[in-house]
Chains A and B, each alone.
Chain A
């Protein structure tokens, strides 16, 4: 088995003494796409925030490349690219300016041509590239953020409901892009409640319910995970 790039070891997180994640364990190897599924309040966002270093675990650890994030926040953050559900880029800047700014903060040098290539790759229309982001739709902002994630060339991608707000064609393009990235060696962690989307793209799925990881599904022999099986487990978990 390959070394895990992302792992949760008995990860427990509490808000105001109320346990939100309870001894969660999983690991994601290099090149894998891991989808964390769960209903509202299951603890998906909490898990994500813990890996991003904005929440501290009560016990256990969230690890990036084997190191606990809360002890190595800055080095961990340098390894990841994060795509939030509501893409929060700067409204007063254009797509290219936004990408240039965030790349410069991450100390990554990319030419304007490379940025334009990335924007083309995510299917953002060229006539929009020099408009301010305050004029963009949610989908266009999402594409800008995906382009940024691509350009950061980070080995690990954290995605929060990445396809929400995208049209079906854009979802297909996005899924293809994720598969390509994974094949190229990127490790992808996404949280979503879209069972079908997750089964289409992920080769490992975790089912989270009330802070506990109740099921883990693995794709075998380059086959997709069976949507029906995951869906049943998902609904059973919610009704339990």
Chain B
């Protein structure tokens, strides 16, 4: 057996006989396993519900009887976002953003029904996701297990005796690193199982491998740091105190400081401000429900000229339907402009926040994990863009039916009596306009490209900590 393995084996023997270390290791594994199992069950259940609701929403829409087409525009339709396979490990911002969106004419609604909205607000605690366990809890547990790796030897005086046996200081350091790293592998094993499950649900193997390696590197960074600090300090107490302070700063304080600083640096208008700005712009377009609105005089003139008739009643198409279609197109341009600006600001916030990962590896793995899992802000934007495309096509299909299948006279006289209202309907066959919607995250190549910066930051931390341990080793060797 090599010297490193002998030292690692002895460290495990110490942990087995030290109740605190043993309990901590057991807690780590149980917590990891529990979070993976619970999240996997929860995501599978949500996906099942979503698939069911999506089917139900589509069925309800297409089963509507003959109606006035514009009533169907406002009847609307729901789209549901499926979770990505790796969201069982890292739900990312999915817990905060909605997973369902209501599509209707003239509006771009926000996504609704996030987990945070309907479950955790009362307790003010977020869900215990496997990613949270790995990113925040696992380093703390590693500290509890490994803070005394070297300081224990220094404090008890066994260090000089060990070195006198012909053991080099480097062998001792690396043996302790190997022991602590083997704990990482044990804690990671439930996550690796979760990742393999994600692979069986269609996740790319390149993403799975990068995902697992990233977490291994992250925990290795903490392992190197813990052993280096333990070697640098002369007592268990000072090693523990220093490591806990660093953990607090790196995993709890700095991410919050980063979020607050980002909000300050990249300002977002409030929802009310934004809504008022959108409304003001939309008012300039005119009311698409009112074909007599002066805003549509030019459209009316163009149509009359195109079809060489004198009155809208003589047009071969329903002028109200044309107005609705035209108005929706113009309105969508404005809504898309605002939505694009909003997304750019959110992306800028996300990018600015990611810069803080040069100060803490916790932010590096957090960004990287969400990007690889497809649960980051850009993936959410992709869902919003795809949902908007579906909304626009479905509304314009109904407006087209309004313009082409409903007579203008019948349309404007629909409130004269009940028979007139009956007549102002189009066939339910026109509701067969929905294609099966299934949200797909960015492909593996795109996600790997998006995560380049975070990958670089994690590599940077690994190099920094390896150099740090190297310096500590050199300083303490003689």
Contacts and interface: CB of A to CB of B under 8 A. Distances in A.
B274 interface: no
B6 A53 contact: no
Interface string A68-100: 001001100110111010111111110001000
A104 to B, nearest CB: 5
Interface in B149-174: 156-158, 160-168
B158 A89 contact: yes
A89 B477 CA distance: 20
Contact of B157 (A73, A86, A93, A101): A86
Contact of A70 (B3, B13, B478): B478
B10 interface: yes
A90 B167 contact: no
Which of B7, B156, B165, B167: most chain A CB closer than 10 A?
B165
B468 to A, nearest CB: 22
B17 interface: yes
Contacts of B14: 90, 92
A59 interface: no
Nearest to B153: A88
Given A88-B156, A90-B158, A104 B1 contact: yes
Given A101-B10, A104-B1, A52 B163 contact: yes
Contacts of B165: 77, 82, 102, 105-106, 152
How extensive is the interface on chain A, given as a class? 20 to 34
Interface string A55-77: 11000000000000010011001
A35 B415 CA distance: 119
A153 interface: no
A228 B156 CA distance: 38
B196 to A, nearest CB: 36
A105 to B, nearest CB: 5
A97 B6 CA distance: 12
A89 B13 CA distance: 15
Contacts of A53: 163, 478
B163 A104 contact: no
Contacts of A70: 478
B70 to A, nearest CB: 80
A91 to B, nearest CB: 8
A88 B478 contact: no
A209 B478 CA distance: 26
Interface string A8-51: 00000000000000000000000000000000000000000000
Nearest to B168: A74
25 contacts: A52-B160, A52-B163, A53-B163, A54-B478, A55-B478, A70-B478, A73-B168, A73-B477, A77-B163, A77-B167, A78-B166, A84-B160, A87-B161, A88-B160, A90-B158, A92-B13, A92-B14, A92-B17, A102-B165, A104-B6, A105-B3, A105-B6, A105-B162, A107-B3, A107-B166
Interface of A: 52-56, 70, 73-74, 77-78, 80-82, 84, 86-93, 97, 101-102, 104-107, 152, 158
Given A73-B477, A88-B161, 4 more contacts: A55-B478, A73-B168, A77-B167, A102-B161
